[in-house]
Amino acid sequence: MGNSPVVVALFLVLLCPGPAVEAQTDFIDETNFSFVNLSGSATVIPDVGIRLTDQAEFIKGRALYSEPVRMKDGGSVDETFSFSTTFVFCILPPSDLSMAGDGLAFIITPRASQDKAATGQYLGLFDKFTSMGQSSNHLFAVEFDIVKNEEFNDINGNHVGVDLNSLISIESKSAGYWIGNQFLELDLKSGQNIQAWIDYDHLQKELNVSVAPAGSLRPEIPLIYMENLSLSSILEEEMYVGFSASTGLTIAGNYILAWSFSTNGKAPALNTSMLKPILQRNPKSNNLPLIVAVSTGLGGFLVLGVAAGALMWFKRKKRRDPIEDWEVEYWPHRLSYRDLAIATKGFREEQVIGCGGFGKVYRGVLPSNGLEVAVKCLLRESREGVKEFLAEISSLGRLQHRNLVQIRGYCRRDKWLFIVYDYMPNGSLDKLMFENSGGVLGWVQRYMILRDVAAGLLYLHQGWEQRVVHRDIKSSNVLLDSELHGKLGDFGLARLYKHDDNYLSTCVMGTPGYIAPEVAHTGKATPDSDLFSFGVLMLEVACGRRPVTPFPDAPQIGLLDWLRELQDNEKLMDAADPKLNGEYIEDEMERVLHLGLLCSDPQPKARPNMRQVLQILQGEASLISLSLDMCEQSPMTESSDNYSTYAYCSTSLEGR
């Protein structure tokens, strides 16, 4: 950016010209939005953003990224890409509040032109007669509507709706956001800057939409959450992404101030701290006399305020750590130490919920938004602690998936580093399985947790623009939310690399019992080694036994050796956790045991991939078909390196 002014309009795009797992990044950072195509009334206001519509009647404006974005794998009808976007918008209130305005919409459309589209309630998306509701429209939109239109079954005059090929929303909610258990209404036409987040996960077929005042953290509970939503019939291979808006009788304007978009990855976070409300810039404002009067009256206090503020600033600057380059590059959500101290009640011992190798973890509630969080503290003097801190910030901070623990921010204070992430009320899986005095974790919950972890791992391995190797998958790193859904946490050992790269580690990382043999021998960590650890986790959950016996003098052998011995004697089902008292689905138990042994095969090439594992756990593929595939890939000789897999296939397929 050189010496240009502070960036107010930010646009970051992640294009995907190849297969879904091989996205190519194209970052753009400008203040004039020269990379968008504008039509209708849309125009760029320097140092402000895009004005889609101004204060005029029955006009429409559209702003789209200049090149079509690939939204589907051309080799498969159903391989729709996931996408994620966040943007800041402003809808100025109508100049005459008795007159009707309309609103704006984020859109994904195959057509860049809006020549035939109508204004008013049609948002510049459809004409008045023929196009509404046609499957050939291939339109996905999220509308931010400030008028109740009876013909579209609108719920009210201040709502957010999801539209497919029509303006009759398939789901809509009154505009607002959640703070804890409290829902706060949000007036879309208030003139304030509002941030929106829209995420679609094609693997889970889930859509999340949230809104909040710009500068707030993303609400923990989305405004709109939709399950079983497939966009395969809506999205074409290449689509245009952007915004459309229109006016009715009279309205002052629709603005886009900042925007980021990504396919197959989390949309980059926006720096909203320098975005000022459009109302403060509006030259047509009639409040000038009042502003002058108030400014004059406060002039005397201004000098004293500046002097006092400067003194406080210099005092605080001496205690504040400088913001380093990696902080700007990786993650902008730096929280204040004061807020963390308030959240954790001064880091009291009764707030401690866990201890790790580099510090304690505290439970807290952020005073700014009431969000319940966990605060991990790391001593800065520890070189390894700083390395883990950087890794967790750079990886987890840029990833978002329902089965990954979401990071909320970080803080630095003197010799201490703090990572703030979502609090998981049910703790970790290992504590619930092995230290739970309240009862036995049932099979239904165990199986659901395994599916959740598999979905999170698939996202890490194949769902983002870079592969993420977790390197420390174990039951204590599987955290459980209020509904016992599993989420992978502790990314302190995670590493990122491009899909066509090999990752080399100079030291063995992980936990004994979960470490793949090749990692112990070579120090190389790959998605295959994550598969091994996940296989051990599956067996641990099914058997109710830790992978390594905690008492060295116990007569029991290691979990994997014990299970392979049972398998050789065709007694594998005897390994089912006796604490379940036989209360499990036999087919699922057998599936987990066999699949766990396949994933923990000593030979990396003999293991299935994460997509195959998830398909089997979800019942979308059979273990028999996977075993046949593995057998076909393995030579049938004892001298082969994959002989163990062939022997397993031969045994597991008998009688099936």
Tokens of 596: 């766990």
What is the distance between the alpha carbons of residues 70 and 86, in angstroms, rounded to a whole number? Answer: 18
Relative to beta strand 495-497, strand 140-145 is unpaired
Catalytic residue, candidates 154, 422, 452, 472: 472
HSE value, Cβ hemisphere, 13 Å, CA-based, for 208: 20
DSSP category for residue 461: I
3-state class of 571 per DSSP? coil
Phi, psi of 444 (to 5 degrees): -60, -45
Q: Tell me which DSSP letter residue 489 carries.
A: -
Compute the distance between CA of residue 343 and CA of residue 364 in angstroms, rounded to an integer: 5
Q: Please report where in the chains the tokens 């829209």 appear, as a residue.
A: 198
CA atoms of 342 and 358, how far apart (whole Å) = 22
Residue 529 near residue 601, CB atoms below 8 Å: no
- Active-site annotation holds for 472: yes
As a three-state string, the secondary structure of 120-189 is HHHCCCCCCCCCCCCHHHCCEEEEEECCCCHHHCCCCCCEEEEEECCCCCCEEEECEEEECCEEEECCCC
Cα–Cα dist 260/469, whole Å? 26
Contacts of 381 (CB under 8 A, 6+ apart): 415
Residue 76 class from Cβ within 10 Å (0-12 exposed, 13-18 middle, 19+ buried)? exposed
Distance between CA 656 and CA 316 in Å, rounded? 71
**Residue 422 falls in which region: left (phi positive, over 0), alpha (psi -120 to 50) or beta:** beta
Identify each DSSP E strand in 414-483 by its residue range: 416-422, 467-469, 478-480
**Cβ(405)–Cβ(420) below 8 Å:** no
Q: What is the pairing mode between strands 60-65 and 49-53?
A: unpaired
The conformation of residue 459, written as its DSSP 8-state character, comes to I
Instruction: Determine whether 406 is exposed, middle or buried from the number of CB atoms within 10 Å of its CB (0-12, 13-18, 19+).
Output: middle
- How many whole angstroms separate alpha carbon 237 and alpha carbon 72? 4
In which residue are the tokens 């939310």 written? 481
DSSP per-residue letters across 306-374: HHHHHHHHHHHHHHSPPPPHHHHHH---BPPHHHHHHHTTTT-GGGEEEEETTEEEEEEE-TTT--EEE
Residues annotated as part of the active site: 472
